[in-house]
Structure 1
Amino acid sequence: MRLLQPLLYSIGLFSTLTNAQAPSKSGDPVVMATSGTYPRATRLSDGSLLGVYTHFNSGNHTITTLKSTDNGASWSVLGTVNTGPESTKDIDNPFVHQLPNGRILCAFRNHDKAVGSQPRFYRITVCVSDDNGATWKYLSTPASDSNSANGNWEPFLINALDGSLQLYYSRENAGSDQDSLLRRSTDGGATWTSAQTISGADITARDGMLGLTRTSPNSPTLLAVFESKNTTGNNLYTIHTISSPDDGQTWGSRNLVYSSLGHNAGAPGLIRVGNKLVTSFGTDEDGGTWPTGAMKVVVSSDGGRTWGDKTTIHAQPAQWSGMLAIDDRRFLAMYESENTIYAQRMVL
């Protein structure tokens, strides 16, 4: 397996040069928020956009929601999901998602830092809103670990075709090994199944920061993108996908999306825009001290088999990017640059 990796990387690098249509910028980037990081957004059933990010204020980390009624051209602060002092809490990685019944969930990492004799405690928390993201209350804790080597990170929510809810996240097995996990809920996120490992079980590497989409509307085929560190023994981050033909029941076909010789590419996102797929990532190939780098995207026109038309959204410094499809041709590329969060409108 290890001996095949250089060949696999060569094939992957070649395939990224072969197809697709390059996205272009539409206007200047819009400031979503200041003093924060990790922007994400979703479209609600009323047509508005609900954004979320981690706000830094007076020594606190606060999961804060935003609202846009003009497809991301402007944003206003809406509400607070959760907050805690950074001296004792590690609150970050928010992700918002609307259920078919209209309720909105926000999943995020909600760790207790090691203080005195108290060990570090890791958890993924889910809160719920019944007023389109303005007010929130606790709903559940799908994952938690008290072992300092087993952190839980970067939750992602998606509705399954059978009406259930899927939660994807990353879990450390050791400092050099991390897997991608899936849990399911049939009661709107109140209770959860045990975890299923979807990537990383057969390799010692740091798989993480999952993003997912269906390859076409209502298709049972899911594509998940993630970063992986040290897959080839060079201690660098690279971008990969795996796929599921049956709505998350089984996973396989691990493929390389992007790597940069001697540099990192990580923190990916994945969306479907019309009949194309777009993967975003951060990279230090143009400079920056990792994880700071530039935000770039690549596009696939064949369901994620090959990727091309690499485009820079924002030169370094940019990090912790997210994306949201606006319609069949337009999408928002969101990123943090020096603690200010921006949304760049893009056209395919």
Structure 2
Amino acid sequence: MRAFVLALALLAAAPCATAGVQWTDTATLAESNAAWGRLARLPDGRWLAVTTRFHGKATPSTLTISLGDARGRQWQELSSVAEAGRNIDNGELIVLPGGRILLGMRSLVEGKSYRLNVHASDDGGRTWRFLSTIDRNEDPRGRKDRGVWEPVFTQLADGALSVLYADETLADGDPSYNQVVSQRLSRDGGASWGAKSVLVKQAGGGKLRPGMPVMSRMQDGRYLLVFEICGDDPQCPVSTKASDDGVAWPDGLGTPLADQRCGPQLTTTTRGTVFVTSCQNEVTFSDDNGAHWQRVAPPAWPGGFRHSWPAIYQLGEDEIGVVNGTPGGGVKIRIGTF
């Protein structure tokens, strides 16, 4: 831990030349008692962020919405979302074409109720109202491994709104799938959701746990999906799949992606470069639509594998930001020029 903190201090002191990225600035979303930061750009160019906030064992967690400037450097808290008696986490933001903002989350009463809920804001994130439930399990029979987790939105080219998530609700079926990657589509801006499609599963069922899916549309028009596969390896190696439309995907467990493990996140820049990060705390990139990958050295956040749940975004024409949980319970953004 001491070496990790020292490395962060050295990074903060001076820019670092890298293979493809020069890390320059650090911005703070939360100082403590926080985790899981995710961003979305507003129509006026500014940013919204969601972070999970923890208030002690007796009080359920909440989600805090923060407003940032167009460069992602300065942030101020804007609003908070809670669900009475329920722990909420895995916040995910998307700004729809009409300007409405959706906030997805996992919401649970452990062992009793698991839901993926959506709240909506029509005033830039200042106020929120419940909109819909994507999926749920209200009869887990005391089990902690029958939930639905980590919803991620993507606006598809045909106008449909996609949500991907990790899904344990097929674990009691025949065959039994410990966990799968599921998708639902909405044609009414998230007010209702279509039937579930399973995008990644272990053939014939079993103990493998594909999950934490995220996809991005690449420059060639296809969609790239990244996801972890837990079960055999506790550090959960990452694989990829590609789809022409973001809905029909090839069978199987995909193609392994080097240098990434657990909780992958990705973004495609306006130049076409695809960047990926994960709890391995490396950054890799592809300039040929995922055919070949290179590793950025040094990474945005040194220290190796850690359950810090990073995410990556294009902040400006030539800038990316890696959002990450930090030692001590803060959430920060490491910004670099590519």
Q: In which range does the TM-score fall when normalised by the shorter chain?
A: 0.7 to 0.9
Among 263, 277, 280, the residue aligned to 2:277: 280
Encode CA deviations 1:78-106: one digit per residue, 9 max, x unaligned: 11122455xxx331000000111110000
Tell me the TM-score normalised to structure 2 length: 0.83
Per the TM alignment, residue 318 of structure 1 is displaced from its structure 2 partner at its CA by 6.3
Encode CA deviations 1:123-155: one digit per residue, 9 max, x unaligned: 100000000111100000010012234210000
Tell me the TM-score normalised to structure 1 length: 0.81
Distance 1:84 1:26, change over 3 A: farther
Work out the CA distance in 2 between the residues paired with 1:328 and 1:278.
14
Per the TM alignment, residue 163 of structure 1 is displaced from its structure 2 partner at its CA by 1.5
Among 207, 210, 214, the residue aligned to 1:207: 210
Q: Which secondary structure state, in structure 1, belongs to the residue aligned with residue 262 of structure 2?
A: strand
Aligned twin of 1:327: 316
Encode CA deviations 1:57-98: one digit per residue, 9 max, x unaligned: 35331111011114211110011122455xxx3310000001
4+ residue runs over 6 A deviation:
none
Q: For residue 278 of structure 2, what is the amino acid of its counterpart?
A: F
CA contact (8 A) 2:259 2:282 kept: no
Aligned twin of 1:121: 113
CA contact (8 A) 2:71 2:316 kept: no
The yes-or-no answer on 1:167 pairing with 2:171 is: no
Aligned twin of 1:135: 127
Aligned twin of 2:224: 223
Aligned residues: 301
Encode CA deviations 1:112-133: one digit per residue, 9 max, x unaligned: 124xxxxx21110000000011
Aligned twin of 1:189: 190
The yes-or-no answer on 1:66 pairing with 2:69 is: no
- Report the more deviating stretch, 175-184 or 329-338: 175-184
CA contact (8 A) 1:244 1:252 kept: no
Q: For residue 52 of structure 2, what is the amino acid of its counterpart?
A: T
Aligned twin of 1:300: 286
- Structure 1 residue runs without a partner (length 5+): 1-19, 115-119, 284-294
Counterpart mapping for 1:101-116 below 5 A: 101-114=98-111
Aligned twin of 1:26: 24
Distance 1:272 1:69, change over 3 A: same
Work out the CA distance in 2 between the residues paired with 1:314 and 1:176.
34
Per the TM alignment, residue 22 of structure 1 is displaced from its structure 2 partner at its CA by 3.0
Work out the CA distance in 2 between the residues paired with 1:62 and 1:121.
17
Work out the CA distance in 2 between the residues paired with 1:82 and 1:251.
38
Per the TM alignment, residue 176 of structure 1 is displaced from its structure 2 partner at its CA by 7.6
Work out the CA distance in 2 between the residues paired with 1:259 and 1:324.
19
Q: Which secondary structure state, in structure 2, belongs to the residue aligned with residue 282 of structure 1?
A: coil
CA contact (8 A) 1:63 1:91 kept: yes
Per the TM alignment, residue 248 of structure 1 is displaced from its structure 2 partner at its CA by 1.8
Q: For residue 99 of structure 1, what is the amino acid of its counterpart?
A: L
Per the TM alignment, residue 21 of structure 1 is displaced from its structure 2 partner at its CA by 5.2
Work out the CA distance in 2 between the residues paired with 1:131 and 1:151.
31
Q: Which secondary structure state, in structure 2, belongs to the residue aligned with residue 57 of structure 1?
A: coil
- Report the more deviating stretch, 188-197 or 168-177: 168-177
Q: For residue 142 of structure 1, what is the amino acid of its counterpart?
A: I
Distance 1:328 1:296, change over 3 A: same
Aligned twin of 2:236: 237
Work out the CA distance in 2 between the residues paired with 1:102 and 1:259.
37
Aligned twin of 1:155: 151
Higher fraction of strand: 1
CA contact (8 A) 1:154 1:169 kept: yes
Q: For residue 62 of structure 1, what is the amino acid of its counterpart?
A: T
Work out the CA distance in 1 between the residues paired with 2:148 and 2:119.
17
Work out the CA distance in 2 between the residues paired with 1:279 and 1:141.
29
Per the TM alignment, residue 228 of structure 1 is displaced from its structure 2 partner at its CA by 0.8
Per the TM alignment, residue 33 of structure 1 is displaced from its structure 2 partner at its CA by 1.1
Work out the CA distance in 2 between the residues paired with 1:251 and 1:234.
23
- Report the more deviating stretch, 265-274 or 245-254: 245-254
Q: Percent identity?
A: 25
